[in-house]
Amino acid sequence: MTILVFGKTGQVAIELQKYAEVTALDRSAADLGNPAACAAAIVAHAPRAVINAAAYTLVDRAEEEEALASVINGEAPAAMARTCAEMDIPFVHISTDYVFDGTGGKASKPEDPARPVNAYGRTKYLGEETIRAAAGRHAILRTSWVFSAHGSNFVKTMLRLSRTHDVLNVVEDQIGGPTPASAIAAACRSIAEQLAADRGKSGTYHFSGAPDVSWYQFASEILSRTHSAPDLRPIPARAYRASAERPPSSRLDCRTTEATFGLPRPDWRAALDDILEELETA
């Protein structure tokens, strides 16, 4: 199966490029700010499946650039989904836990009402709605707290700050499932293959790492595996003073994904060991 991937330098896109059947497009080949160009790229490459691993992900800046984020996160996926529907090929789209407000005390299910609390979440949900409206064979895969040895992510930030700071303040009242980018890539590939064989599996799914932890607990695990030992201090999210509000809970109920595609939640602790080893030898 030949798979066309939108995105080339993002964490999941980098992991997807480890598969021989993947062709990845960067911004020069398909600018998500130009939805028509994205549709044209699919037609030109004539793949057997498409995975959208690109997005506007600057959560705080999106508060000021919601119109641009809406094009990249909403209109571009819509163009991709419509083209895939016309060609009758699977379209896998990576979405986010930020479509939920994170309240209620339970892990969010795929069918729970979306209540985004920031511009980024609103634009990502716009993309979901347009994909569903295209009515092709598709999977919207919501995930959370992505990390890898590449790009910008929480693991690399903690390692960098631990080298120069004796004290690190880390949010303790936001909970989620850290998710290895490699696991997301493998899941997307498997889902695309299964959708090609069974369009009845189309729908919205959740995929995040286990167990669920706070940012503070995640940071503690990261630094416990290194030689750095800054003083970690838990703080409430309100003390972080971010421009965009974040959901207090990013926990995702992933049981439907496992039942439908045979994809259990990955253990992020095992992946963390591998990523730290990769960073040490890089």
| Cα 94 to Cα 85: distance, rounded to the nearest angstrom | 17
pLDDT tens sequence across 218-261: 999 999 988 767 999 999 998 888 899 999 999 999 999 999 99
- Write the CA distances from 49 to 41, 65, 161, 264, integer angstroms: 13, 31, 40, 22
What local confidence, expressed as pLDDT, does residue 5 receive? 98
pLDDT score of 36 = 97
Q: How far apart are CA 96 and CA 150, in angstroms?
A: 19
What residue spans define the domains of the chain?
3-149+179-209+252-267
- Determine whether 145 is exposed, middle or buried from the number of CB atoms within 10 Å of its CB (0-12, 13-18, 19+): buried
Q: Would you please indicate which residues are annotated as catalytic (active-site) residues?
A: 120
- Cβ burial 233-259 (10 Å sphere, 16+ → b, else e): ebeebeeeeeebbbbbbbbbebeebee
CB within 8 Å of 282: residues ≥ 6 apart:
149
Count of residues in the chain = 282
- 10-residue block means of pLDDT along the chain (282 residues)? 95 97 95 97 98 97 98 98 98 98 94 97 98 98 97 94 93 97 98 97 98 97 85 92 92 98 97 92 75
Q: Is the pTM of this model over 0.95?
A: yes
**CATH topology for the 3-149+179-209+252-267 domain:** Rossmann fold (3.40.50)
